[in-house]
Amino acid sequence: MRKEMVMSEEEVRERRIKIKKRKMRVASSQLSDQQKKMIEELLTAHRKTFDLDFSRFRGFRPMDRTISPNESQENILPLSLPSPSSPSSSSSSSSSLYLYLDKEQDKEPEQKIRFFTSLPHFSDLATYMIHDIIRFSKSLDVFRSLNMEDQITLLKGATFEIMQLRFNMVFNAKTCMWECGTISYYKDDVIRAGFQTVLVDTVVKFHQTLRNLGLQEEEYVIVQGISLFSPDRPGVQQRSLIDQQQESLALTLQTYIDCKRKGSDKHLIFPKVLACLTEMRSMTEEYSKQVLQIQDIQPDISPLIMEGSETDRRMKSLEKEEEGLVWFVAVARGLLASC
């Protein structure tokens, strides 16, 4: 009996390895002090720069909902744009935009064009969101440690993605509405701003998928950090440092999920979040293409250019506050932040 209880050297070694692995699993499922500090920094920056009630979103131009995207075809002027790969190619469903016409039929088509009726409002909303995303990024120690060129590059690449992550926090998956304080936005509102259904439908589906994961505020802010610190953005110089930061954030997110989540399917949340990040990359590409098409049609009202003396004053104030990122703001004005 005693002989059977004595373990061989090989068995002892295997047992020690199993105990070590068990200890490592326990340790990996607990947030380190460094990870806790990282989450706290992201949370603080996020809460200072994002208002769930949108109470700081003021002085915007009202949204025009007088025209429905489903109105009869005689009140809509379809505009076909050539495909970049084939300038002379005919129009397709993915390259057709719609300009809303005035119902007075005695005018020439050029005089009846009302342009994209929600565009001025979404211009103000986008400017408001971008301003806060810049402030969010500048609140992070690692971001401030980067050279100015990389700060600009990361912001250009991540602005649209972080904007979608923040909008997802106010998205109602049941009604498919973005509930931004006193204003709720519908899919049709985005279409009225000039964006095509091929993108809008994808955006809505993305928001439903991400919202149904039930992310906590901590998880949202970590994902924003992962998006911001993407080492594969074109033109990045300090790639190693950025890659290290993104890897640390990804590990922090995975550990946080392991620690805080319950349920047998919690191990699926992390890969699903990564899949959503990948989906956002595809959305960004399509978004950039459609923005350029909108600018071709309505160059004087780009989605980030605000009109009027009060708007100019606010933009100058923004440029002064974000001194080192003036170039990025100028690019953002033309809605080229993700190009």
- For the chain, the average pLDDT equals 76
* Dihedral class, residue 335 (left if φ above 0, else alpha if ψ from -120 to 50, else beta): left
- Distance between CA atoms of residues 247 and 234, nearest Å: 18
Q: Does residue 287 surpass a pLDDT of 70?
A: yes
22: pLDDT confidence band, cut at 50, 70 and 90? low
Q: Does residue 138 surpass a pLDDT of 70?
A: yes
* 3-class DSSP string for 100-133: EECCCCCCCHHHHECCCCCHHHHHHHHHHHHHHH
Selected residue with higher pLDDT from 100 and 249: 249
What's the confidence (pLDDT) of residue 89? 36
- Distance between CA atoms of residues 216 and 261, nearest Å: 10
Tokens describing residue 178: 């973005």
What's the confidence (pLDDT) of residue 318? 43
Selected residue with higher pLDDT from 120 and 225: 225
- Distance between CA atoms of residues 234 and 225, nearest Å: 18
Q: Which domains does the chain have, with CATH numbers?
A: 31-67+118-333 (1.10.565.10), 74-113 (no CATH)
- Distance between CA atoms of residues 210 and 272, nearest Å: 8
- Kindly list the distances between the CA atom of residue 247 and the CA atoms of 156, 271, 322, in Å, as whole numbers in the listed order: 20, 14, 28
What are residue 110's phi and psi, to 5 degrees?
-65, -30
Selected residue with higher pLDDT from 257 and 312: 257
What's the confidence (pLDDT) of residue 254? 96
7: pLDDT confidence band, cut at 50, 70 and 90? low
Tokens describing residue 2: 């005693």
The pTM for the full model equals: 0.73
Q: Does residue 305 surpass a pLDDT of 50?
A: no
Q: Which of 74, 85, 59, 84 is nearest to 109 (CA)?
A: 74
Four-CA torsion 216, 181, 195, 106, nearest 10 degrees: 170
- Distance between CA atoms of residues 12 and 10, nearest Å: 5
The percent of residues above 90 in pLDDT, for the chain, comes to 50
Q: Does residue 208 surpass a pLDDT of 50?
A: yes
**CB environment 205-221: b (16+ within 10 A), e (fewer):** ebbeebbeeebeebbbb
- Kindly list the distances between the CA atom of residue 336 and the CA atoms of 7, 97, 99, 168, 293, in Å, as whole numbers in the listed order: 68, 19, 22, 22, 12
- Distance between CA atoms of residues 132 and 120, nearest Å: 19
**Average pLDDT value for residue range 224-239:** 95
The percent of residues above 70 in pLDDT, for the chain, comes to 65
What's the confidence (pLDDT) of residue 134? 94
